[in-house]
Structure 1
Amino acid sequence: MLADIAKAVMVLCLSASTATTVQAADARDPLDKVLPSAVFAVDWTMQDKTTLYDSDTLFERINGEAELFFPYGFERLAVAEYANPKHPDVLLAAEVYRMGSPLDAFGIYANYRRPTSVAAAIGAEGFISATQLMYCQDRFFVRIQVTGATALDSEILLACGRAIAENLPSGGERPVEIDLLQIPSVVKRTERYVARSLLGYAFFRRGLIADAMRGGERLQVFLVPEDSPDRARQALDDYRAYLKAEGRKFTAGPPGRNALSTVDPLYGGVFVEQSGSRLIGAIRAEDPGTARMLVDDLRRRLGEV
């Protein structure tokens, strides 16, 4: 576990932003082989052939969502549809997105997952409903959706998902970076990775965030990785400047720690501090003391490295 957390810290501190869109892959891209062409469940067969989309054509497939994918290093999308002659009006659309990294794939996946989603034992993490199955595995995000019906046997969705998973690199664990948020107060399956402007603030360039419960209070904890302690210090200074511009007061400290507590214009009670090349914090706190306790838990978690 300690080795995993150390690896997570190293990856977060040293990895470059994946916001730049990768150019289209070669026409012989193996992504067109991951969708099963053979029958994965009785009577369900692929219609036509796999269609590939790159950063220039993604809008043709998901016009309203394409911009969401680019900050996560979107490279390419493979799409196929499956039909069953016994149900001619029903189609099963399978999409496999290759993202910039396993963390990016988890990040885009977590945009769709909700704490109340029914977990599916597939990939690194997945969920299932009456009409869809989504999961992430390695640096791939898989989305399978039903059209023409309000429900489909979950075993058919899972059979399709498992057939795809067998063609992807193995990846049964969530990205190690997510372990950095694993403190007792964190609500399971609320963890997210935001690839650009955590909390909507440009000075928090990217980061991890999760819901937390402490003393009957629901808050959120977050972690902003930076390239160096100087960059982390600058990010916190930028936050101070923002608060001043908004006419918000803040309290420094405690002594010996580069930290502050405030009432944020958007997020209520906040406690945030620098921890090496990272910022760690808690938001939406009614009691500033609760926010600080959560941050202390995060400090101890990072101190395990």
Structure 2
Amino acid sequence: MRHTPRLVYVIPALLILICIGVVTVQFDYDPSQWRDQPGNATGPLKRHSPPTNGAGKEALSVKGLTAMSAAEIYDRATLSDKIDGKAELYLSAGFQTLHSRRFVLENAHNLWMERFVYDMGSNKNAFAVFSSQRRQQAQPLDLTPDAYQSANGVFFVLGKHYVEVIGSDVSQDLLTKMNELARVFVAAHPAAVKTAADERTLLPQAGLRPDAVRLIAANAFGFDRFERIFAAEYQRNGSSATAFVSRCVSAEQAQELARAYVAFLQEYDGRPVPPPDGASYLRIIEILDAYEIIFSHGPYLAGVHEAVDLQHGLALTGALYTNVSKANP
């Protein structure tokens, strides 16, 4: 479900257009739309290179698959040459380099695929671009903790890498080879499979769908100071609410960001609501027929965004506060 910030609608027309564009990139981006389409087996290259860690000599070990092109390497300055100018999502999330290469089925030269290996600099950055592009009709894979396949693609996170394998057509034979290509990449990088726990573990588990978790790299909820926010939508009795959490550099930064977000909401006619008894640490703002609930605890900034029902939002906040308190006693 698309998380279009309700706050945006009270901002002047120019800012509305900008925010809608940002949210569209974050939540509706379809990787296959920005790749070379079937039949277009040539494209702009940054440079060719022999197989490297990103290009992957191990890929050549997949039986029935042969290289169709040399490896292509792109950096921050040239990424938009490869993905038709849709590079801002990656750049804002910490993109470093892209290695891509095309492979073709030996027994069906009309069926080919391209593997994109994005070095995002960290596991969090890789998850940010993975989660913001996740297709709703996706089939989870046991490839890595964060992996799925679509009708013509395989997508996964491995350490600091976000990897896509996109096929030229919808074909079971092609999809089988794409999965094999993905698995040899994972096997070649065993140390990257285990990653440190992050804020996702603090989100309330009751009612949480694993594919609902997002990491918003920048401008979360229309607030330009909210960066690297983990968020997930929850449903209860037909009402929705989005829990969010982020670990800041310090407790002071978390407190200051919480205050700044409250001020931002009030600037656009948000109305303070008294917190329940015993929960003075919460700041609740009613705005545009929904509720924002914000708190900080130690270095954590957390809360609930766009709770349609206040009681649902408070219940979600209570579970989130319990988890955060255990993480930072």
Q: TM-score, normalised by structure 2?
A: 0.76
Q: Is the counterpart of residue 94 in structure 1 residue 115 in structure 2?
A: yes
- Cα 1:189–1:81 change in 2 (3 A) is same
After TM superposition, give the deviation of residue 295 of structure 1 in Å: 0.8
Task: Give the distance between the partners of 1:215 and 1:35, measured in 2 at CA.
Answer: 52
Pairing of 1:1-305 with structure 2 (within 5 A): 30-34=52-56, 36-42=58-64, 44-147=65-168, 149-153=169-173, 154-173=175-194, 176-177=197-198, 178-254=200-276, 257-265=280-288, 268-305=290-327
CA 1:100/1:224 → structure 2, altered by over 3 Å: closer, same or farther? same
The answer on whether the counterparts of 2:50 and 2:70 sit within 8 Å (CA) in structure 1 is no
Q: Deviations over 1:94-141 (max 9, x none)?
A: 111111211111111111224541001112321112210000011111
Contact 2:54 2:117 in 1 (8 A): no
Tell me the distance in 1 between the aligned counterparts of 2:259 and 2:302. 14
Length, aligned pairs only: 277
Percent pairwise identity: 19
SS at match of 2:102: strand
Unpaired runs of 5+ residues, structure 2, are 1-45
Contact 1:137 1:172 survives alignment (8 Å) = yes
Check 1:115–1:176 CA distance in 2 against 1; reply closer, same or farther (3 A cut).
farther
Give the deviation of 1:35 after TM superposition.
5.1
SS of match in other structure, 2:224: coil
Kept after mapping to 1: 8 A contact 2:291/2:310: yes
Q: 1:236 to 1:272 in 2, by over 3 A?
A: same
Query: Is contact 2:59-2:185 (8 Å) kept?
Result: no
Looking at secondary structure, tell me which structure has more helix per residue: 2
Report how far residue 237 of structure 1 moved. 1.8
Alpha-carbon distance in 1 for matches of 2:75, 2:274: 47
Tell me the alpha carbon deviations over residues 218-244 of structure 1, each in whole angstroms, 9 at most, x when there is no partner. 321101332222222221222222222
Contact 1:183 1:298 in 2 (8 A): no
Cα separation, partners in 2 of 1:203 and 1:264, compared to 1, 3 Å: farther
Report which structure shows greater RCO (CA 8 Å, sep ≥6).
1
CA shift, 1:88, in A, is 2.2
Taking a change above 3 Å as real, the CA distance of residues 279 and 83 of structure 1, as seen in their structure-2 partners, is: same
Structure 1 letter corresponding to 2:60: A
CA distance in structure 2 between the partners assigned to 1:200 and 1:152 by the alignment: 41
What is the Cα deviation at residue 210 of structure 1?
Answer: 0.7
- 1:164-197 CA-to-partner distances (Å, cap 9, x unmatched) read 1122243445651121224213222211111212
Distance 1:159 1:166, change over 3 A: same
How far is the alpha carbon of 1:261 from its aligned partner?
1.7
SS of aligned partner of 1:203? coil
SS of 2:249's partner is: coil
Distance, in Å, in 2 between the alignment partners of 1:230 and 1:281 is 17
- Aligned partner letter, 1:165: V
Q: Distance in 2 between matches of 1:294 and 1:202?
A: 24
**4+ aligned runs moved over 6 Å, structure 1:** none
| SS of residue matched to 1:176 | coil
Aligned pair in 2 of structure 1 residues 116, 300: CA closer, same or farther (>3 Å)? farther
1:57 and 1:99, CA in 2 relative to 1: closer, same or farther beyond 3 A? same
